[in-house]
Each structure stands twice: as C-alpha cells, then as structure tokens.
Chains A and B, each alone.
Chain A
Amino acid sequence: MTELLVGTRKGLFLLEGEGGAYDVRARAFAGEPVEYAVRDGRTGLTLASVTSAFYGPKIWITDDVSGDWEQADGVVLPDDGEAALVRIWTIVAGEAEGLLYAGGDPGVLFESRDGGRTWEVNRGLWDQPTRPSWQAGGGGLCLHSIVPWPGDASKLAVGVSAVGVWLTDDGGESWRHGNDGLVPRYLPEDAREDTFDLCVHDLHRAPRRPERLFLQFHGGVYRSDDAGETWIDIAPGLPSDFGFPLAVDPADPDSAYVIPLTADSDRVTPDGRVRVYETRDAGVSWSARGDGLPQGDAYLTVLRQAFDREGEGPGLGLYFGATSGDVFGSTDAGATWFTAASRLPPVYSVRVAPG
C-alpha cells in the first residue's frame, strides 16, 4: 500500500492505494493552497506548507493528516530587513536527528532541529552580500531544492530560482556558488558571464554516488560529477530541454528521470503526449517512458515539486501530478504507468509518504 501526499491549489489530499487503484483517504486545508507536504519517515510526522491568500505562509505539522494540525513556530524572516516571507516551497529531512530544512521565497533557508516544530533562518545564506542583486524567476525568488549529502550533515546543496546552485561544507555557516557550466540562454551573451541570474528548476543527488547531481535548468538538463562545482549539459536526446521536475533511482547513480515540456513559451507536454524520459547512462542517451500515460491531445503542465519516487531498482515507484488534476504512477521504474487520481484541483506537489 502506498500513500501519496498531494498538495493542490485547493487543499492537501492523502491518496492511498496499490497498483492502479487509489482513493482519497483524507483531505486537509480545504480551499487553501497547499504548496508542499511531506512525511518525515523518522518520526512519522507530516509537514505541510500552506499559503493563505489572506494570512500568509505557514508550516503545519501533524501525526494524522485527517486530524488536528499544529502551526510551526519561527517561520518568519529576520527582523533586520524589510522583506516578508512569501511562500515555503519545500521541506526536506536533514542528516541529523530532528534536523529538517525548509526553503522559501525570498531565497530563504530555514532550519529546524526539533522535527519541524520550531524553525530559524540560516543566516549564512540570508546574509549573502550579493542578495540585493538576486533576481526572482516568474515563480518568485524561490529556494525550492535542498539536497543533503547522505550521512554528512555538514554538506548541503540548494537550488534557487533564479540564483543558481549554492553549496556549503560547514553545515550552512558559509556558502559558495556551484554554477560553472550552467548556460542561461535566456540572457544576452554579453550578460551571461558572472551572472547570478541562473534559473535552476530542480536539483537531485545520486545517493550511492553523492558527488553526482542532476539538475533541470530553465533550458537545459545538467549533470555534475564533482558535487555541484561544475556542470555538463546532458539534454541532447530529449524532445525539449525545458521542464521542471527531476527524479533519480537511488540504486543507480547513472539514472535520472525528467518530464520535458515543449518550451519556455509553451509549458505543456510536447505533441500532446505525456512522456517521462529516463537515462541509465548518466545522460548519454534518453528513452521515452509513456506506456499507460495519455498519448493524445494531452497538454499537461507538471510543476517542480510534483514528481517523486519510492524504493529503488526494478521496483522503483514513480509518481507525478499535473495542473490538470491528474496523478500518475508507475511501480516498475517507469516501464508502465497508471492513473492514480484524476479531477483533483491543480497539483502543486506529490510526495510519497513513508509508511
């Protein structure tokens, strides 16, 4: 039995099922935008990012999705500035007991050391001297990707749209760019050198070879073999190098999955066909995986947090949702797919909830 936490424009849905048969087991925050929800497998607690149009962004926490939720403390920006928190984009477990990270807009990283009940801003990143010149993407100045290093809490990579990749080796005390090789084709050539305007869309690490990272860019798919210091373009072979989410098979450091969209100017699945693309050779070649997905008149948009996996190897589970309200799944590493849900509100995030 698999549980999926599906954040939508109109609430959080807990789907439960097996194979192709899924049901809505619970709904929370009815009517509110739930940008992200995740269950911490270490504690069993579920955390949700909810941004009320009236009352702003909050993180909520519960041990029962259909029960009561507790508002987390400290999800605010420091007093010594003028910015206000816009939105929390992601919540990720860290590599120490009780350690969690949350990323948000405007380019802010929060840390919790008590399992998510209280949070504080990471000052190392917040106090970057270049911050006044950081440019937001259309989705905001969003810190959307947080990538721990397995077994080492001192190392972390984060992705910010549109301020590129940031790396730390001292637990977030100090940060440096990890952008060499990323090419922002959306800028004039004479504006590209030394620019911060690097629109990372998603970032993932290969757990069994942690120095390897994969990145979906705003025009480009990249791989790093040196822990994010430098990047090489691996998009050739894809129908489009534009898209948002990315996933990896933990068992295979050469694996990555992307869901291409037609282009920056046309953010729907190409040719009216929904296809996930898989590489098993670190991006040298790509194969379409669409068996069971809509293959006609299907113009879907899949957002960056709306793709997740469970398990690994031949039984790798893959799940993604679209703004159409559809959620799709695969339990054979993308070879075949089923529709887990349809007619939900527009899907912002999909995360497999560890049992």
Chain B
Amino acid sequence: MALVKLRAPLRELAGGRTDHSLDGATVGELIHALERAHPALAGWILDERGGIRPHVNVFVNGTHGREDTAVSSDDRVHVLPSISGG
C-alpha cells in the first residue's frame, strides 16, 4: 500500500490523521480511495472532472505528480497546497 500524507486542512477532513495507507495504481486512484474512506474530502483535492485542483500539489517520493502518475506500494504521496499568492 502507498502512504498518502496530508497537511491541514485536508488532515482534519480525514479524521485528523496525517498518514493514510491506501491501495491504488495511480495518484488518482489513491485519492479516490482516500475520498471513499473519508467522504468529507470529496471535492477538496479532485474537482468534479477528476482532475487535481490547480492550487493543490502532489509529490510522489518528492517529485511532482499528476492524477495519472503511477504509484507502487512503497511510495510516499504528499498532498498539500501550492505556493499560492506568492
């Protein structure tokens, strides 16, 4: 299972937990799995078309990722706000 790591305010919508071990072959699948486990997150990371919102950044093992980025069971996926407004 990949490890998805969240920061505030997403963490609070996911039961207050930073770390979430999830199954999925892509970043998009991981986020959908996260939404199923924590429905309050629906619409926060992915928009209604299934795309990562423009001001949300996803890093897979420290490298920028997108919805279709492949992930494996040992990967760490950070989801956090982008440097907006700077």
Residues of A participating in the B interface, judged by any CB pair closer than 8 Å: 135, 137-139, 161-162, 186-188, 190-191, 197, 199, 201, 218, 264-265, 267
* B83 partner, pick from A188, A190, A191, A199, beta carbons under 8 A: A199
B62 touches A139 (CB 8 A): no
In the A-B complex, the 5 residue pairs with the smallest Cβ-Cβ separation, listed nearest first, are A138-B84, A137-B86, A190-B62, A191-B62, A199-B86
Q: List 11 A-B contacts (CB under 8 A).
A: A135-B83, A137-B83, A138-B84, A139-B85, A186-B80, A187-B80, A188-B5, A190-B62, A190-B76, A191-B78, A265-B9
A76 → chain B, closest Cβ, in Å? 25
B76 → chain A, closest Cβ, in Å? 7
**9 further interface pairs, Cβ-Cβ under 8 Å (given A191-B62, A218-B83):** A135-B83, A137-B85, A137-B86, A138-B55, A139-B86, A187-B59, A188-B80, A190-B62, A191-B59
Whole-angstrom CA separation of A188 from B6 in the bound complex = 10
- For B72-86 the 0/1 string (1 means CB < 8 A from A) is 000010101111111
A-side contacts of B76, CB under 8 Å: 188, 190
Whole-angstrom CA separation of A99 from B76 in the bound complex = 49
A-side contacts of B59, CB under 8 Å: 187-188, 190-191
A-side contacts of B80, CB under 8 Å: 186-188
B61 at the interface (CB under 8 A from A): yes
Main secondary structure of the interface of A (DSSP, over half): loop
B-side contacts of A218, CB under 8 Å: 83, 86
A-side contacts of B9, CB under 8 Å: 265
Whole-angstrom CA separation of A186 from B85 in the bound complex = 13
A160 → chain B, closest Cβ, in Å? 10
B-side contacts of A161, CB under 8 Å: 83, 86
B63 touches A201 (CB 8 A): no
Whole-angstrom CA separation of A188 from B9 in the bound complex = 16
A156 → chain B, closest Cβ, in Å? 22
Whole-angstrom CA separation of A138 from B80 in the bound complex = 14
B-side contacts of A162, CB under 8 Å: 83, 86
A-side contacts of B78, CB under 8 Å: 188, 191
A186 touches B83 (CB 8 A): yes
A-side contacts of B62, CB under 8 Å: 188, 190-191
B33 → chain A, closest Cβ, in Å? 20
A138 touches B61 (CB 8 A): no
Interface centre among A186, A218, A265 (most CB of B within 10 A): A186
